[in-house]
Amino acid sequence: MGNTKKRRPDRREKARRLLRFFFGLTAAASLGYFAFYYYMSGGSSANANNLAELKDKAPVAKGTGGTQVMHLTVDEEAPEVLDEFKTLLLKNKNIVGWIQIEDTPVDYPVLQSANEEYYLDHNFEQEKDNNGSIFIDKECSIWPRSQNIIIYGHNMKSGKMFGSLDKYKDKGYCEKHPVIRFDTLYDSGEYRVMYVFNEIVHEEAEVAFKYYQFIDANSAQEYRSNMKEMAEMSLYDTGVESYYGDSLITLSTCDYSEGAERFVVVAKKVD
C-alpha cells in the first residue's frame, strides 16, 4: 500500500470551523436567553393567577381551624380594608390595590414602596423578577386619596404587566376597552379612559408640564390647566371630560417609538 498522509485543514477551513463554532455558541446563548425570558414571563403569569385566586378569600385565623374576617388597616383612621384584600395584605403589606382591564393581560395586584426602584425587578412575593410588578408612585396615597394616582408597569415584549397598554394608541382599541378597573384596599372603582399620549421625561429644571408630577392640584384653575395640557397631547378625543374633584388614575409605561420615552393612559373614576 502507498504511504498516505492525513490532510491538515488549511487556514480557510480553520476559519470556517471557528466561525461555525462562534455562531453555534451565539445561537445557543440566544436560545438560552429567550427560554429564560419566557420562563420568567410564564412564571409571573402563573403567580398573578394564583394571587387572583386569593382575592375574596377571608384570612385564616390561627388556632381556630376556620376563617375569620379580621380588621386590617394601614391607617387607624382609614376605612376597613375590603374583604377581598385581607388575605393578600397578610402576604404583602405593600399591596394597595388591584388593576384589571377586561379582555387584556392586565390583571395584577398593585403595590407601593418608599423605594420606587424595588418593584421594577421584584414581584409580589418579594422575589427578584425581571417582569417587576405594577406599582404606584411613592408620593401618591390611597388614603387620604390623591386626586391622581400614578401607576407604573414595565412594557414587556411578552405582553405581561403593561406590555399591552400601547394598544391604546389605536382609538378603535380604546373604544373596545374604555374602562379600567382599579380597586384600592378601601374602595372599588371603574375608570373611563380620557387621554392617551406619548411623552418624554423632561429635565428637572425644564419648565414644562410633567404628567408624572401631577398628583394633587391646589385649585380648580390648576386642575383645568393640567387637563388642558393632557388634552392637547392626547392622540385622539375620547369625549370624556373631567372636573375639579374627580378621581383620576394615570397608567405609565416605557415607549419605544421614535421621539418618545413614555406612553400614558389617563382615566377618571365614574359612578
Buried b vs exposed e over 145-171: b needs ≥16 C-beta within 10 Å?
bbbbbbbbbbbbebbbbbbbbbbbbee
pLDDT at 57: 59
| 33 domain residue, yes or no | no
Of the candidates 38, 146, 54, the residue with the CA atom closest to the CA atom of residue 108: 54
Helix, strand, or coil here: 182?
strand
Mean pLDDT over residues 163-169, rounded? 98
| 6 domain residue, yes or no | no
**Structural domain boundaries enclosing 212:** 55-270
Distances (CA, A) of 3 to 6, 9, 10, 163, 186: 10, 19, 21, 68, 91
pLDDT at 44: 53
Mean pLDDT over residues 136-144, rounded? 97
- Cα–Cα dist 171/173, whole Å: 5
CATH number at residue 80: 2.40.260.10
pLDDT at 16: 63
| 77 domain residue, yes or no | yes
Q: Is it the case that residue 147 has pLDDT exceeding 80?
A: yes
| 20 domain residue, yes or no | no
Mean pLDDT over residues 99-107, rounded? 97
- The band of 47, judged by pLDDT with boundaries at 50, 70 and 90, is low
- The band of 56, judged by pLDDT with boundaries at 50, 70 and 90, is low
| 204 domain residue, yes or no | yes
pTM score: 0.78
Per the structure, how many domains does the chain have? 1
Q: Is it the case that residue 189 has pLDDT exceeding 70?
A: yes
Distances (CA, A) of 8 to 5, 11, 14, 265: 9, 9, 10, 65
| 71 domain residue, yes or no | yes
Query: Exposed (0-12), middle (13-18) or buried (19+): which is 248, by Cβ within 10 Å?
Result: buried
- Cα–Cα dist 56/134, whole Å: 20
| 235 domain residue, yes or no | yes
- The band of 171, judged by pLDDT with boundaries at 50, 70 and 90, is very high
| 246 domain residue, yes or no | yes
State percent of the chain over pLDDT 90: 67
pLDDT at 52: 72
